[in-house]
Amino acid sequence: MKEKHNWGWPIASYLFLGGLGGGMIVVAGLADLAFGEGELFSLGNLIAGIAIAIGSALLIFELGRPFQFWRVLSRQKAIMTAGAWMLSLTIVTSFAYFSFWPDFSPWHQLIGLRHLVAGINIVLGVGVCIYTGILLGSLRARVFWNTPLLPVLFLVSGISTGVAAQSLLAGSWPCHVAAGELGALHAALRSCDLALLVFELILVFVYVGMMRFSAGPVTARIAAQWLTGPKRWLFWGGLVGLGLALPTILYVLSPAAGGETAALLVLIGGVVLRFLVVYSDERIPLPGESEYYSRLPGPDAPFLKAWE
Amino acid sequence: MARFVMIMDTRRCIGCHSCTVACKVNNELPVDMIYNPVFTHGPNGVFPHVSMTYYPLICMHCENPPCVGCCPSGASQQEADGIVWVDQNTCIGCKACIQACPYRARHENPKTGTVQKCDFCKERVREGLEPFCVETCHQRARIFGDLDDPESEVSQMVNSMHTLQLLPEIGTDPQVYYIVTPGGQG
Amino acid sequence: MSSKEDLKREASAVRKSCCFFCHQNCGVLAYVKDGKVLAIEGDPEHPVSRGGLCTRGNIALQHLNHPARINVPLKRVGARGSGQWERVSWDQALDEIAARLVSLKEEYGAETVATAGGTQRANDWARRRFMNLFGSPNGFHNAHLCWIPTFMIETAIYGWCPFEIDLANSRLIVLWGHNPGASGMPEMRGIFDLKQNGLKVIVIDPRYTESASKADLWLPLRPGSDVALALAWLNVIIWEGLYDQTFIENCCIGFEELAEHVRQYTPEWAAPLTWLDPELIRKGARMYAANKPGNIQWGVSIDQSGRSAGAGIHARALLRAVTGNLDAPGSDLLCGPSPDFITDEEMEANEWLPEEQKAKQIGSDRYKLTTWPGYGRIAAITKEVWGKAPTAEWMCEAHPPSVFRAILTEKPYPVKALIVLATNPINSYGRTDLVLEALRKVDFLVTMEYWMTPTAMLSDYIFPAASPLERPTITTTYGCSDTLIASERAIQPMFERRTDYELWRGLGLRMGQEEMWPWENLEEANYYRIYPLGYDDVGSYDEFVEKHRFHFPEREYYKYGRVGFATPSRRIELVSSTLRELGYPAMPTYAAPVENEIDDPDLARKFPLVLTSGSGFMPFHHSEHFQIKELRFLKHEPYVDINPETAKDLGISMGDWVWIETRRGRIKQKANLTQAVHPKVVVTQRGWWYPEREAAEPELGGCTESNTNVLTDVSDEACDPLGGSWANRGLLCRVYRVEQSEADGR
């Protein structure tokens, strides 16, 4: 009996939502600072803040003692502590940055301050994307996560999903730009996402390929599960196909019409990637371990309850 | 300063599981929680040329414990004498430490929501007693003591015999040493 | 988590009790207060266990306080096995039972009452005392499966059983059908300690066990073929000149005859019977003979071989004699009975059983060695030479399968009542369907138990048994050792539990036996027994335990120089006159396993695999402890060992439920594919029943589903002619997956 998954769908979902939110505020911040087009992506900051907040709520839900969650905001040197502080801050700065944009906002005119927050958001957004990969990568017992490629992959995926989400939301309130004027912008975003997708595809194959042909039998086995084993549908169908290759093709072939579909597919791909990774959490087995645990009774064994 | 370690002499271990039961009963663990399983490796080979070794497992109280560094609340901590333990009041049950442990030594308690593990019976040990699992073992297959004390049995054994650690390549420097005869025959 | 140390500090006293769940009887310190046990731990001062406790020792409190324990006397209401009980008082139950026994005695004779026991777990002398005074010769245990035939054959040929191994001075030990690695924890430790000083270990076992994995030499013989191996070893040792000439000249008679007799039993002859290479057989024999002094540790497996048991035991016993490994330093010691304290036999009142009642002992007409004919003869000689006799309750018993058959057929006469104590015969005696039928049919069934076992479920009365911590215990190796270890009660029994002593005495007082039960409780009886040791500072049994705890007389080697061998000729009889007089071969003659492929190829075609069963495994003991969660969690389902090649041919994967079937019936266990066994050998786990299931008919705790005794053979043809041992080992069986059989409509 394998060790059960200590982290499940709430963590996988949080990883997606965190990456998404981080990516979205990076896009918004860059658009503001580098191109002066921040208004187009203003709503995305609110959505990003909500996404990260929901992700954090899922993390709290996953705790054994959710009401004690505040203890994570400590002065420990753990990666998770730094991450928790960063997440908390990012939620605040995302909402804060959003709050500059509606006309009725009291600080709508404080452009310098807004630029400062945008800059902070870019740093925090990259941080939120990449820290989750660093956290997983630091858990060396989980051999499939034990590579510097993982944070890079999560960063690229995060930015990519951020770009996709922002392209879907671009021009929404509180933006005043008419829908028709978005054409050039969307084209730029698509090119950006296209480049990110291609980069991500390469990264995924390098990651899985390295693991498949690595020295470790467990990593090789997990990679084989992704490539040819029970997880192959999720991998080829969900991640590579729907999540990476198909949107790439759509971006190239029919940029105008396929843009929205492609963006949605990118989001799906981001979810699939996180689930694949989180559920590939095996350790190197100890001698005789699997036979021992496979023979232990499950919680429903009648003798456990017979004399209560 | 003391440094507590344990030696598992697999030449003597016969896989009777007494240590597992002594720990569970004396520490009043939930019936489905096992701090210290004993695995059977083998029989390996083809009848009748076979060999078999029993591996008692336990928290390794590593020199570089990955489960301490990753704890966001500070509940998981290591004492100066090497004992790694979890403060049940400050643990929030995030399970990062379970993810960090290569030895499956940590366990979530669904009733308390916290993570538990072997703590080398630290209250007993500080009173000069032995952990329950060591005291109960008829075969004296488990030896416990202070590695920093050159007169101690563990110190003499570690320094005079060939011992091995499990999964050394992960870099945790586990402080449970195994005496294993080559070929697995006791 | 230091609550245990806190509990210990809270205690008002520490009592030196013992575990009691196996024969090692490890010392347990019980921390008590106000009649409750707060905590237990191993006793570091106990000479055998030195502070260790195995899985079973550790759950003493779980056993003591378990919610499923029977705590009050129960009387059946409704049909037998319907699971309906009413609570009665001890007095009422004893009154009614005594009255019933008296009336049965009047109608059918005292011999109509039989008693059944299991392993040594109770004050068996009290049981025998009651039965002798009552007049019935039909007490029995699982003796025939466990050491007793060995004891009697070895006593017949060299005057006592040399079960005291002088391991500290030994160079080699043979574990013959014995696996202390899964059954005798302190013994295993002793072996390890001495291995470090060069002790060599030979393991003779079809299975690669815990002990085999630590051995220097492992002989994986065909189950049930031990007699062939032992005869071949005799052949090698004698015909290669490896015997001890001086010892044989000084102490033995019949050497030439024995030598001629075993000439035919060469390793080449033994090889196809044992499935061992002749060179491997030779190697083992030479190793034993060359590494003197050496020990052969007894193991149950030969006793459980059925028809060939006696011959196998006899041949193995002769190995010690021809090598001189008897009563010398480092060898197997003929300690003899104790001259220093009152033995079990002296408490049994055997002289009170009339001769005509002895003659009625069921099975004694056929199985003479371990019944009054053999026992009487042998005990007379040991009394002459040693001054005392072996314990009759064990060494002189009715033949259990014959008693069960008497219940059903009324031949040789009706057996109308059975008192069952410290055993669950449905799971522990051979041929479960016979036992079940007998227990369902017997007129009157009384049980004393910790638990509602399948046997208890069928009883008319159940008495609640005191736990190990609630009783004093004297350990003396079935009353036959010259050593003694004493343990005291930790607490008085809780609820209405009592010891077996109270049961037998209670019945005896109501049946005119008052004068013979002067001791009110076990402490008084035990004090009477240790009193002759002569300790002035001890005024009670408990004081003896507190101050002294044990009696180990100074070791005396070569006792035979002073005492002689307790045989008719006063020498070791390599050709046994006692056995000859009883009508048995005077020298061990080859007998094949009860079911085997050479003599019965047709049977082997239908049942192509060889079954062995009955060996112990942690954390259980016989049919005990399946309801202790902490133990059951480790092994919650039964597993049968099967070779992976064989499993593959049968389409069986690891963990599949499979049927194991013999001519008697079939059971199911899960397949454990392992290279520990020969491709043709299959090893079932013993004891299994499911206490979590319904405790009434027809379920009866699932007592036939995985119970290996469904498969064993107790027919007279299958039993050993000398002692009546039935066959658990070396039977023929077949194995197939559970679904397959459903599909085939088998």
Which pair of tokens denotes residue C677? 């066994």
Q: Do B91 and A64 touch (CB under 8 A)?
A: yes
Q: What whole-number percentage of chain C has pLDDT above 90?
A: 97
Closest residue by Cα to residue C370 from C185, C144, C592 = C144
pLDDT of A308 reads: 81
> Per-residue pLDDT tens for C592-614?
999 999 999 999 999 999 999 99
> Per-residue pLDDT tens for C636-648?
999 999 999 999 9
pLDDT of A40 reads: 87
Band the pLDDT of C2: cuts 50, 70, 90.
low
**Mutate which: B10, B14, B129, vs C, most C CBs within 10 A:** B14
User: Within this chain, do residues C438 and C511 fall inside the same structural domain, yes or no?
Assistant: yes
The answer to whether residue A111 neighbours chain C at the CB level (below 8 Å) is: no
User: Within this chain, do residues C50 and C83 fall inside the same structural domain, yes or no?
Assistant: no
Q: What whole-number percentage of chain A has pLDDT above 70?
A: 97
How far A303 CA lies from chain C's nearest CA (Å)?
A: 5
> Per-residue pLDDT tens for C93-135?
999 999 999 999 999 999 999 999 998 877 899 999 999 999 9
Closest residue by Cα to residue C113 from C130, C96, C126 = C130
Q: Do B101 and A141 touch (CB under 8 A)?
A: yes
A47, pLDDT greater than 50: yes
pLDDT of C746 reads: 40
User: Within this chain, do residues C626 and C507 fall inside the same structural domain, yes or no?
Assistant: no
Fold observed for domain A9-283: Formate dehydrogenase/DMSO reductase fold (1.20.1630)
Q: Do C213 and B47 touch (CB under 8 A)?
A: no
User: Within this chain, do residues C304 and C293 fall inside the same structural domain, yes or no?
Assistant: yes
> Per-residue pLDDT tens for A236-260?
999 999 999 999 999 888 777 778 8
Among C634, C639, C692, the residue with its CB nearest the CB of A306 is C692
Residue-range definition of the domain harbouring residue C662: 601-744
Weakest-pLDDT range from A252-261, C2-11, C175-184, C223-232: A252-261
Residue that is last in its domain, among C44, C64, C84: C64
The answer to whether residue C66 neighbours chain A at the CB level (below 8 Å) is: yes
Residue-range definition of the domain harbouring residue B161: 4-184
Chains that contact A by 3+ CB pairs under 8 Å?
B, C
The answer to whether residue C58 neighbours chain B at the CB level (below 8 Å) is: yes
Residue linked to tokens 């092994």: C635
**Mutate which: C628, C636, C689, vs A, most A CBs within 10 A:** C636
User: Within this chain, do residues C341 and C258 fall inside the same structural domain, yes or no?
Assistant: no
Answer for the pair C381, C374: CB distance below 8 angstroms, yes or no: no
Cβ neighbors of C271 (< 8 A, separation 6 or more) are C277, C278, C281
The answer to whether residue B13 neighbours chain A at the CB level (below 8 Å) is: no
- What average pLDDT does the segment A92-112 reach? 92
Closest residue by Cα to residue B26 from B111, B135, B127 = B135
Structure pTM? Answer: 0.95
Answer for the pair C244, C324: CB distance below 8 angstroms, yes or no: yes
Band the pLDDT of C739: cuts 50, 70, 90.
confident
Beta bridge partners of C337: none
The answer to whether residue C450 neighbours chain A at the CB level (below 8 Å) is: no
Q: Do A307 and C632 touch (CB under 8 A)?
A: no
d(CA B50, CA A185): 71
Residue that is last in its domain, among C41, C64, C87: C64
Closest residue by Cα to residue A186 from A262, A295, A123, A271 = A262
Chains that contact B by 3+ CB pairs under 8 Å?
A, C
Q: Do A307 and C626 touch (CB under 8 A)?
A: no
pLDDT of C564 reads: 92
Band the pLDDT of C4: cuts 50, 70, 90.
confident
pLDDT of A214 reads: 84
Number of domains in chain C: 4
d(CA C37, CA C15): 10
Q: Do B103 and A142 touch (CB under 8 A)?
A: no
- What average pLDDT does the segment B106-113 reach? 96
- Chain B residue numbers touching C1 (CB-CB < 8 A): 27, 119, 121, 123
Q: Which CATH number do you get for residue C97?
A: 3.40.50.740
DSSP 8-state assignment for residue C514: G
- What average pLDDT does the segment B64-80 reach? 96
Residue C216 included in any domain? yes
Q: Do B99 and A78 touch (CB under 8 A)?
A: no
H/E element holding C668? strand C665-673
- Chain C residue numbers touching B136 (CB-CB < 8 A): 42, 52-54, 57-58
- State which residue of chain C sits closest to B30, comparing Cα positions: C630
pLDDT of A179 reads: 61
pLDDT of A188 reads: 84
Angle (CA) C63-C68-C73 rounded to 5° is 100
Weakest-pLDDT range from A23-32, A103-112, B145-154: A103-112
Dihedral class, residue C637 (left if φ above 0, else alpha if ψ from -120 to 50, else beta)? beta
Among B11, B17, B45, the residue with its CB nearest the CB of C634 is B17
| Cis upstream peptide for C278 (omega within 30°) | no
pLDDT of A189 reads: 85
Q: Which CATH number do you get for residue B50?
A: 3.30.70.20
Among C68, C634, C636, the residue with its CB nearest the CB of A307 is C68
SS3 call for C83? coil
**Mutate which: B16, B31, B73, vs A, most A CBs within 10 A:** B73
User: Within this chain, do residues C306 and C341 fall inside the same structural domain, yes or no?
Assistant: no
Q: Do A78 and B69 touch (CB under 8 A)?
A: yes
User: Within this chain, do residues C189 and C323 fall inside the same structural domain, yes or no?
Assistant: yes
Q: Where are the domains of chain A?
A: 9-283
Strand order in the sheet with C444-449: C85-87, C74-76, C461-464, C444-449, C417-421, C113-116, C139-140
Strand order in the sheet with C36-42: C13-18, C27-33, C36-42
The answer to whether residue A307 neighbours chain C at the CB level (below 8 Å) is: yes
SS3 call for C375? helix
How far C554 CA lies from chain A's nearest CA (Å)?
A: 47
pLDDT of B183 reads: 57
> Per-residue pLDDT tens for C200-240?
999 999 999 999 999 999 999 999 999 999 999 999 999 99
- What average pLDDT does the segment C246-259 reach? 97
- What average pLDDT does the segment C285-292 reach? 97
What secondary structure does DSSP assign to B5-49, as a single string? EEEEETTT-----HHHHHHHHHTT--TT--SS-EEEEEEEEETTE
- Chain B residue numbers touching A76 (CB-CB < 8 A): 71-74
- Chain B residue numbers touching A80 (CB-CB < 8 A): 70-72, 94, 96
What b-and-e string marks burial along C113-148, b requiring 16 or more CB atoms within 10 Å of the CB? bbbbbbbbbbbbbbbbbbbbbbbbbbbbbbbbbbbb
Q: Which CATH number do you get for residue C672?
A: 2.40.40.20
The answer to whether residue C627 neighbours chain A at the CB level (below 8 Å) is: yes
C1, pLDDT greater than 50: no
Q: Do A68 and B104 touch (CB under 8 A)?
A: no
Among B28, B123, B138, the residue with its CB nearest the CB of C189 is B138
> Chain C, 435-454: which have a CB under 8 Å from a chain B CB?
none
How far C58 CA lies from chain A's nearest CA (Å)?
A: 19
Cβ neighbors of C628 (< 8 A, separation 6 or more) are C59, C62, C63, C66
Cβ neighbors of A71 (< 8 A, separation 6 or more) are B72, B73, B74, B75, B90, B92
d(CA A98, CA A21): 13
B110, pLDDT greater than 70: yes
Q: Do B55 and A291 touch (CB under 8 A)?
A: no
Q: What whole-number percentage of chain C has pLDDT above 70?
A: 99
- Chain B residue numbers touching C189 (CB-CB < 8 A): 12, 138-140
Q: What whole-number percentage of chain B has pLDDT above 70?
A: 98
> Per-residue pLDDT tens for C275-286?
999 999 999 999
- State which residue of chain A sits closest to C630, comparing Cα positions: A304
Which pair of tokens denotes residue C588? 């061990």
Residue C560 included in any domain? no
Q: Which CATH number do you get for residue C27?
A: 3.30.200.210
- Chain B residue numbers touching A218 (CB-CB < 8 A): none
> Per-residue pLDDT tens for C672-721?
999 999 999 999 999 999 999 999 999 999 999 999 999 999 999 999 99
Band the pLDDT of C745: cuts 50, 70, 90.
very low
Q: Do A142 and B99 touch (CB under 8 A)?
A: yes
Chains that contact C by 3+ CB pairs under 8 Å?
A, B
Beta bridge partners of C667: C660
Query: What Cα–Cα distance (Å) separates residue C725 from each residue in B177, C83, C309, C484, C615?
Result: 47, 33, 7, 29, 16
- State which residue of chain B sits closest to A83, comparing Cα positions: B72
Band the pLDDT of C742: cuts 50, 70, 90.
low
Chain B positions contacting chain C at CB under 8 Å are 11-12, 14-18, 20-22, 24-28, 31-32, 42-48, 50-54, 119, 121, 123-124, 127, 129, 135-140, 185-186
Band the pLDDT of B186: cuts 50, 70, 90.
very low
Q: Do C692 and A303 touch (CB under 8 A)?
A: yes
Residue C329 included in any domain? yes
B184, pLDDT greater than 60: no
Q: Do C53 and B26 touch (CB under 8 A)?
A: no
pLDDT of C741 reads: 55
Q: What whole-number percentage of chain A has pLDDT above 90?
A: 80
Band the pLDDT of A75: cuts 50, 70, 90.
confident
Q: Do B32 and C633 touch (CB under 8 A)?
A: yes
d(CA C130, CA C622): 26
d(CA C60, CA C469): 8
d(CA A131, CA A137): 10
- State which residue of chain B sits closest to C5, comparing Cα positions: B124
SS3 call for B96? helix
- Chain C residue numbers touching A303 (CB-CB < 8 A): 626-627, 629, 632, 636, 690-692
Answer for the pair C116, C435: CB distance below 8 angstroms, yes or no: no
- Chain A residue numbers touching C692 (CB-CB < 8 A): 302-303, 306-307
User: Within this chain, do residues C389 and C490 fall inside the same structural domain, yes or no?
Assistant: yes
Residue C630 included in any domain? yes
User: Within this chain, do residues C302 and C345 fall inside the same structural domain, yes or no?
Assistant: no
Number of domains in chain B: 1
Give the length of chain A: 308
